[in-house]
A and B are shown apart, each in its own frame.
Chain A
Amino acid sequence: MAFSLYQEFYKLSHRKLTWIAPLVLLILMILTGLSIGYNESKLLMTTCYNAPDWIMLILVIVGSTTFSMEFQNNAILTLLYKAPNKILVYLSKYLVILGYNLWLHLLAILFTLGLRAIPMNQSMSWSALYRYQQPLWENMLKTSAIDVLTTTFIISLIFLLSCLINSNAIVISVSLLMVFMGQFISANLLNADRFTTVLRWNPFNMTNLTRQYYNYTTYFDTSHLLNQQLLQGTLSYTLLFIIVGYLIFRKKRF
């Protein structure tokens, strides 16, 4: 397992995309700060300048290419026969992307601390109370922690799709569509006001977890689930997608 993890980490750390992505994240955070920062300083600090959406975008691209690069470079056969079993290949890829996800969130927090210090927006005190009667710093840390769960759910979905589809471009397109359109698909399903008790558990609805946490009143009407229920749904779907993704990977013919 240790050697498989080392190999995955080695590949990830030698890809240009891995290092360009944080720069893109910073630029997008600055742009967000410049566009809505004047009115929404507290919201920006809570959400790390809308980092959840930007990190999701980055993870879709990096995560989608994790498997497709193996298929396209004919490396999957070597990877598979050199590993003691298939689950190690799958898990080590998953864990390394999970580590990258955590690293991106950590960077987003550090960037937020830096951006708050520069005179771009009206600077709010970290101890100022905001959502759930908690200080901003607590809101930010909790939002980031919850977003790690949302993005982990997205990674599981991307891995499942990557095992179904070999083409890099198609996996990225489908993943982006599901991640960013999923919320609208779910909202439309639930707007019909039929079978809401069942349909609110659809997987697309789980993409609302982070947004609902920092903006409960708006998003509860969309998701029809409590924060706690969304969290349970997200964790359950994450586990389900990991298992189904692995089963597809295991049966896949290379």
Chain B
Amino acid sequence: MLVVQNVNTYIGRKQIITDATFKIHPGNIIGLIGPNGAGKTTLMKTILGLTKFDGQIRLNQTTVTENQHTALTKVGALIEHPAIYPFLTGQQNLTLYAHDPVDCQRLISKLDMSTYIHDHTKDYSLGMKQKLGIAIALLNNPQLVILDEPMNGLDVEATIGVRRLIHQYAAQGTAFLISSHILSELQKVMTQVILINHGRIIVNQPIAEFEQFHHQAYELHTENSQLTVKLLSSHHIQYTLDGDTFQVNPKSIFEIQDILSSQHVRLKELTPISSSFEQIVVHLLHQQRGGDQHND
């Protein structure tokens, strides 16, 4: 559905996004994560044709350029702050963009906004404005929805409601690209993760694969620790030893099993050391920074 190919984005002469390439298919919920200033919002704006860029962005085979947005008719977005006119009521703000009044009413009730929807938005709280912004993004049955920090200012109930709504829309084929600093919240909805740092995409994987491949270490117990130490050292496999427990790199686990098996050393335990999603992300960012410094 959405194809982003070798996209470089510039603000003035400064390059913000470098060689971004990824695809979004119907029903995908992509979590776009990265530190402050990594280029998340810029990447979202680029997809919406709001920045100067080169490379290719195609939505349903139609190209998006900085000045040609015809392909974006079925795209909804909430970028930076909700686009709300304070002199209009919530209902009027929705009417301004809505093509179908029934769809509009359905969103109002699903987001539980009925009690205040006829009030002027200048009196809305941050959370109320945020919900209205999300409703505007979800209007007109979009095929792709881009949400930049959608959970900002939302209370617990609203957060759950928005999460449920995202799942419902995704089940009907709507794709989502969501950025958030609240990783735990993002983790509950996303099916794929894009990790961006310094304007470069460093990870683009389905969430299950991401978690599987980025476990930082494995714990190893064997029935003969001394022999294991010898074998690992002789094969130049890195490890740390704490009592009888080895900690090894996930990349080495198959090789280790083969070596131990050939010497008839039986495994007592080989388990991934569970890391939270947050820890994995931080680790990857550290790793990349190290790489960058090394390259510099």
Contact = CB atoms under 8 A, between A and B. Distances in A.
Contact of A11 (B51, B85, B136): B85
A194 interface: no
A78 interface: yes
Contacts of B97: 7, 78, 82
Give the most central of A82, A85, A253: most B CB within 10 Å.
Answer: A82
B96 A10 contact: yes
Give the most central of B50, B84, B96, B136: most A CB within 10 Å.
Answer: B96
Given A74-B83, A75-B85, A81 B48 contact: yes
Given A74-B80, A77-B80, A80-B50, A85 B85 contact: no
Interface string B36-47: 000000000100
B16 to A, nearest CB: 11
Contacts of B92: 10, 14
A74 B85 CA distance: 9
Interface in A60-114: 69, 73-86
Interface string B66-85: 01111011010101111111
Please report whether the interface of chain B is mostly helix, strand, loop or mixed according to DSSP: loop
A79 B79 CA distance: 12
B290 interface: no
A64 to B, nearest CB: 16
Contacts of B68: 84-85
Contacts, number: 70
Interface residues of B, number: 30
A210 to B, nearest CB: 31
B87 A75 contact: no
B54 to A, nearest CB: 16
Contact of A14 (B12, B48, B81, B87): B87
Contacts of A16: 87
Contact of B67 (A10, A14, A78, A85): A85
Given A78-B77, A78-B136, A83-B69, A73 B96 contact: no
Nearest to A8: B96
B222 interface: no
A75 B45 CA distance: 14
B86 interface: yes
A10 B77 CA distance: 21
Contacts of A250: 67
B250 interface: no
Given A80-B50, A82-B97, A75 B83 contact: yes
Nearest to B72: A81
Nearest to B81: A74
B69 A85 contact: yes
Contacts of B96: 7, 10-11
B95 interface: yes
B259 interface: no
A243 B92 CA distance: 32
A69 B82 CA distance: 14
B17 to A, nearest CB: 15
Interface of A: 7, 10-11, 14-16, 69, 73-86, 250, 253-254
Top 3 nearest A-B pairs (CB, nearest first) are A78-B83, A75-B83, A81-B48
Interface of B: 11-12, 45, 48-51, 67-70, 72-73, 75, 77, 79-88, 92, 95-97, 136
Given A7-B96, A77-B79, A81-B49, 6 more contacts: A7-B97, A11-B96, A14-B87, A73-B84, A77-B48, A82-B69
